[in-house]
């Protein structure tokens, strides 16, 4: 089984939708784990939550709406869905000591993980290490490269990298996917690669997509109806930009990945 770790409902499909479709068509079991998919105990009233909820038009329970969209999109691509409901999106997380929102504004969502953000330790100690039943069935894990440096993408990437020695021990490959739509900014991609630890061995690779893979990806992205206005002015613009992104590196549609390994330590 190939395991795709998605910070939010949509990230894996936006970045890897063509690959998910291709693998499932080939009979390879694929699972998408959304790590920040929890229902908040209380929605903090902040500029970012008010702005997002107004833009999404996702009803009284936006998380439930987004879960339903995710199920529709992943079903279209032939992928299983697993949602971690204990950790909500960063816009809903609060300081465990003061109950103050950790990420109240648009600017706070990028580059700098709040020192009181409990999500990383939770994921490291309770999810990735304890859910060994899923990992035991997996031969490859895909995690975000964190292009664009969204805090939730950074958290998930860093937990995956911390797990790398254990993954290698279990013969599970770690591949980082190029986060779409952030990779439309070439600088974001370059900075993300440069931010990786210097002792890692990094190999860039591509999945070459068929026309059916591309069409399935675009249709799946459209399934996240609440999110379309965040990135695109219309569905036709969505199609144009995804097509352009898929052919940006090569003369054929591809999704790009970075296989990560850590050289084994040897002693004389």
Q: What is the mean pLDDT of the chain?
A: 91
Decide if pLDDT at 59 tops 80. Answer: no
pLDDT at position 126, please?
75
Averaged pLDDT, 107-119: 95
What does the pLDDT average to over 220-245? 94
pLDDT at 179 over 70: yes
Bond into 100 cis (ω within 30): no
> Domain spanning 2-261 has what CATH number?
3.40.50.10320
Question: Does 203 have pLDDT greater than 90?
Answer: yes
Share of the chain above pLDDT 70, in %: 95
DSSP line for 147-208: TT-BHHHHHHHHHHHHTHHHHHHTT-EEEEE--TTGGGSHHHHHHHHHTS-TT-EEEEEEEE
Closest CA to 151 of 110, 122, 118: 110
> For 11-58, what is each residue's pLDDT tens digit?
999 999 999 999 999 999 999 999 999 988 888 889 988 888 888 876
Grouping H, G, I as helix, E, B as strand and the rest as coil, residue 14 is helix
pLDDT of 267 strictly over 80: no
Q: Domain limits of the chain?
A: 2-261
Q: Please give the Cα distance from 141 to 205 (Å, whole number).
A: 15
pLDDT confidence tier of residue 129, bands split at 50, 70 and 90 = low
With a cut of 70, say whether residue 128 has pLDDT above it. no
Check pLDDT > 60 for residue 266: no
In percent, the amount of the chain with pLDDT more than 90 equals 73
pTM of the full structure: 0.93
Q: What is the pLDDT of residue 131?
A: 65
What average pLDDT score do residues 177-201 get? 95
């Amino acid at each position: 089984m190939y395991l795709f770790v998605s910070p939010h409902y949509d990230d894996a499909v936006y970045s890897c939708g063509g690959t998910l479709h291709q693998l499932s068509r080939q009979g390879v079991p694929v699972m998408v784990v959304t790590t920040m998919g929890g229902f908040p105990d209380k929605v903090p009233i902040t500029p970012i939550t008010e702005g997002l909820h107004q833009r999404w038009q996702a009803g009284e329970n936006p998380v439930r709406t987004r879960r339903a969209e995710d199920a529709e999109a992943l079903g279209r691509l032939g992928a299983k869905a697993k949602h971690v409901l204990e950790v909500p999106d960063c816009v809903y997380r609060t300081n465990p000591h003061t109950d103050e929102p950790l990420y109240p504004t648009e600017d706070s969502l990028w580059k700098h993980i709040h020192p009181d953000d409990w999500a990383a330790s939770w994921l490291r100690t309770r999810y990735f290490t304890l859910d060994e039943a899923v990992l035991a069935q997996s031969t490859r894990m895909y995690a975000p490269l964190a292009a664009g440096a969204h805090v939730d993408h950074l958290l998930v990437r860093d937990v995956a990298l911390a797990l790398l020695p254990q993954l290698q021990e279990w013969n599970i490959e770690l591949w980082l996917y190029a986060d779409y739509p952030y990779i439309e900014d070439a600088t974001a991609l370059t900075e993300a690669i440069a931010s990786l630890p210097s002792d890692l061995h990094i190999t860039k690779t591509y999945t070459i997509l068929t026309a059916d893979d591309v069409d399935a990806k675009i249709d799946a992205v459209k399934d996240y109806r609440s999110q379309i206005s965040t990135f695109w002015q219309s569905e036709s613009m969505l199609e144009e930009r995804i097509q352009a992104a898929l052919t940006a590196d090569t003369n054929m549609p591809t999704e790009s990945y970075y296989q990560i390994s850590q050289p084994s330590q040897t002693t004389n």
